[in-house]
Structure formats: structure tokens, C-alpha cells
Amino acid sequence: MGFFSKVADYVRLVRFAHTIFALPFAMIAFVYAFKTTGSGFDPVLLLQILLCMVFARNTAMGFNRWADRRIDGENPRTADREIPAGRISPRNAMIFVVVNGLLFIITAATINRLTAILSPVALAVLISYSYCKRFTSLAHLVLGLSLGIAPAGAYIAVTGTLTLVPCILSLLVITWCGGFDIIYALQDRDFDRERGLHSIPAKFSVRTSLGISIALHAVSIASLAAFAAYCPQSPLLWTGVALFTAIIITEHILVTPSKQRSIGIAFGTLNGLASITLATFIIADLLIYG
């Protein structure tokens, strides 16, 4: 029982359930790459990509929790997280980070030369996010970039190159994640101001912050439309685009300057639903009509 309890602590440490934000987009890029290049489906490569996703997320989130352990302990909303609550020691958290970082680099090196070269760069971006809120309000976009690496990385894994189309998909993820992270950060607006931490909500009013979030999500939807132009045109494709757009709009209906009680639903439930729904329809479109 003790072993499984400890495993559960580490799963909660890295918020493994939040993998649904980036993983579906990596799978879109993976399927798009092998369908458009004619390379064919490779189950071993798919496993390598999935392992890279897991190891990269474990490294990024584990380091974030380690770097923010004192801040989390002072914030009533986060004081019960695994490190400040004492369920995982800072030393063990850092060992977890180092092991997962090494596994990520090793796994990436088994795919192709470009993934091997770029894996340390990807880790640097993932780790740097944890310190961004100490000096810039643009930390939300750095988080978006951290997740936006996923589709570009999956495309590189299949093709060994990087082209415009997966970059468009990455832009979608960067602005989508940056936009919903601004909404999430509304919860800590007062705490961040008191501690001198930087975020869009800490710097601007709630109305302005939500306006910036909406603007970022408008770029996301435009990027999605641009990516869709490169996919087989079918009802499946545009149903996925429409549903993703509708879910994002619903997120902004739920969270307004005067109504912020549904941030948890908007952040976790709706965004997870948006990514899974979009991936399901676009991948079906690529497989059936591609």
C-alpha cells in the first residue's frame, strides 16, 4: 500500500491528468506527418514519442514544483501540494526531475539525429518556465511554448525535419495554453501582487486580463483554421474545428470580469475536452480521407 501511495504522490506532483492538454496535439502532428509524407504508421516510433511526452512532462512539472516549493507553501491555494505538505521531499523531487530529464534525452536520441540535438533545448525551455513569473508577466506564453513544443517534436520524430504546417499547430497550442493560463492565474492575482510575482492578472485588471486571453484564443482559432487548410476537407474536419471553437467560447462565457467561480471547470474540464475532441475529429479526418 505504501508503494502505490507514493506513486500516487508523484502522479499528483506532475498533474499527470493535464497531459491531455499537449498530448492530443502531438498525436495530430504524428498522424499528419506519416499520412502526408507516406512514411507509414510505426508503432515503435509512437511509443518513443509517448515516452518522450511523459518524461518531458515529468521533468517540467517536477522542476516547477521543486522551484516553487516555498511560494506554494505560502499560498493557501497550493499549500497542500506534495512538496510543501511534506509528502515528497525536495531532494527526492529533484532526483525525480533528473532521472526523467535523462530518460527524455536518451529516448529522444533513439529517434533521429534532430530530435537528439533538440532534446536539451526543449528541456531548457520546459525548465525555464518555472522562473519566468519571478521577472516577467509573459510567463503564460512561455508555458504555452513549453506545450507547443509537443506537436513540432512529434512531426520532427516522424520526418527528421520541421516545416511550416506543424509550426502553425504549435502556434495554436502556444496561444491556446497562454490564454487559458491567464484565466487560471486569476485565482492567485492578489497573492502574486503581494509577493511581487508577475502575471497578466497581477499586472492588469481582470477585464483587461480576460481581454488578452480572448485575443490569444482568437489567434488560436485563426491558427486552427490555417492548419485545417492543409488537411483533407471533410465534414469531420470542420466539425472538430467548430466544436473546439465552441468550447473555447464557452470558457469565456463561464469566466467573466464579474463571474469567476467556474475557473476550475473552464481550465481543466473544458480545455481537456477541447483538445481531445479536436484531436479525435482531425485524426479521423486524416485517417479516412488522407
Residue 20 is classified by DSSP as G
pLDDT of residue 264: 84
Q: What is the mean pLDDT of each run of 10 residues along the chain (290 residues)?
A: 77 78 95 93 96 94 95 94 94 96 98 97 94 94 95 97 97 97 95 95 97 98 98 98 97 92 84 95 96
pTM, two decimal places: 0.94
Cβ-proximal residues to 124 (8 Å cutoff; 6+ apart), any chain: none
CATH assignment of 2-289?
1.10.357.140
Query: What's residue 17's pLDDT?
Result: 66
**Burial of residue 283, with CB atoms counted within 10 A of its CB: 0-12 exposed, 13-18 middle, 19 or more buried:** buried
Q: What is the pLDDT of residue 5?
A: 79
CA dist 216 and 69 (Å) reads 29
Query: Residue 20's pLDDT is what?
Result: 82
Per-residue model confidence (pLDDT) at position 6:
80
End-to-end CA distance of the chain: 48
Judge whether 158 and 37 are in contact, CB under 8 Å: yes
As a whole number of angstroms, the distance between CA 131 and CA 7 comes to 26
Q: Which amino acid, residue 175?
A: T
